Amino acid sequence: MSAVLETRGLTRHFGAIVAVNDVSFQLKKGELLALIGPNGAGKSTCFNMLMGQLPPTSGDVLLEGQSIKGLKPREVWRRGVGRTFQITATYSSMTVVENVQMALMSHHREIYRIRPYAHQQHRAAAIALLDTVGMAAQADRHCAVLAYGDLKRMELAIALAHDPTLLLMDEPTAGMAPKERVALMQLTADIVRDRGVSVLFTEHDMDVVFAHSHRIMVLNRGELIAEGNAEEIRANPMVQEVYLGG
């Protein structure tokens, strides 16, 4: 079976800096894959290339066997690559369910309609998605009053509104309390299991990474230095050196 996502020799230079160097990996269907590494390792640069946000200097990105290199972010997103952002981008003047309804409208290529019309369309589907992320009870609350962790869960529902085959999450738990972090990753793992979505994510908290990833890749100075399950990564001397020495 072909991989959902594959990179071949992915490389990005910024002037003299080699931010990402010859990175090749595959992500399988239904896999929850972590990309870890110290600050400046090149994780976000990788993500930006996968999303079409940044052109690679060389190498290729394949989605279900087809190159998506050179596609604009919106085209990549149309092909089923969802993402969550480090800074949550929502309409804070609207309610939780309205935000998800807007995402569903966008997914169905409907013209954005401002309230009160948004109340009518896709409400049931939006509530179902909110239920998936444990937010159904908060559907009619205004986003402005939400706790940060709830905002992040709503963002996940918004990403799911586009029915992605692949979700890219660059530091999804940034700024969260440890308990919220564990909850969000548990939720992500459930979504991967129940919907067959594949996820690539970055995360600083090693406990979260080890507890929830199916597989882990370690990036250091732009290069993949290790890959394996939690046991293998923990025991890897190169990884220990990077983290203890870093």
Which residues lie near ligand ADP (CB under 6 A)? 14, 17, 19, 37, 39-45
By CB under 5 A, the count of residues binding Mg ion is 2
Say how many residues make up the chain.
246
Instruction: Select from Mg ion, ligand ADP, none the partner in contact with residue 164, using the beta carbon and a kind-dependent cut-off of 5 to 8 Å.
Output: none
Q: Please, which residue, 17 or 211, has the CB nearer to ligand ADP?
A: 17
Alpha helices in the chain (DSSP H): 43-50, 73-78, 96-107, 123-132, 148-160, 178-195, 206-212, 230-235, 237-245
Q: Please, which residue, 30 or 73, has the CB nearer to ligand ADP?
A: 73
Instruction: Select from ligand ADP, Mg ion, none the partner in contact with residue 63, using the beta carbon and a kind-dependent cut-off of 5 to 8 Å.
Output: none
CB of 68 to ligand ADP, least distance (A): 19
Q: State whether residue 31 is helix, strand or coil.
A: coil
Contacts for 114 with CB less than 8 Å, ≥ 6 apart: none
Q: Please, which residue, 44 or 198, has the CB nearer to Mg ion?
A: 44
CA distance 119 to 177: 33
Instruction: Select from Mg ion, ligand ADP, none the partner in contact with residue 144, using the beta carbon and a kind-dependent cut-off of 5 to 8 Å.
Output: none
CB of 49 to ligand ADP, least distance (A): 10
Q: Please, which residue, 19 or 105, has the CB nearer to Mg ion?
A: 19
Residue type, 186: Q
Work out the angle between the directed axes of helices 148-160 and 123-132 (0-180°, nearest 10). 120
CB of 182 to ligand ADP, least distance (A): 22
Instruction: Select from Mg ion, ligand ADP, none the partner in contact with residue 82, using the beta carbon and a kind-dependent cut-off of 5 to 8 Å.
Output: none
Place of tokens 């586009």: 162
The phi, psi pair for 140, rounded to 5°, reads -100, 10
Q: Please, which residue, 30 or 38, has the CB nearer to ligand ADP?
A: 38
> Residue 116: is the preceding peptide bond cis (ω within 30°)?
yes
CB of 45 to Mg ion, least distance (A): 8
38-97 positions binding Mg ion, by CB under 5 A: 43-44
Burial letters 10-33, b for 16+ CB under 10 A, else e: bbbeeeeebbbbebebebebebbb
Q: Please, which residue, 49 or 167, has the CB nearer to ligand ADP?
A: 49
Instruction: Select from ligand ADP, Mg ion, none the partner in contact with residue 52, using the beta carbon and a kind-dependent cut-off of 5 to 8 Å.
Output: none
CB of 73 to ligand ADP, least distance (A): 15
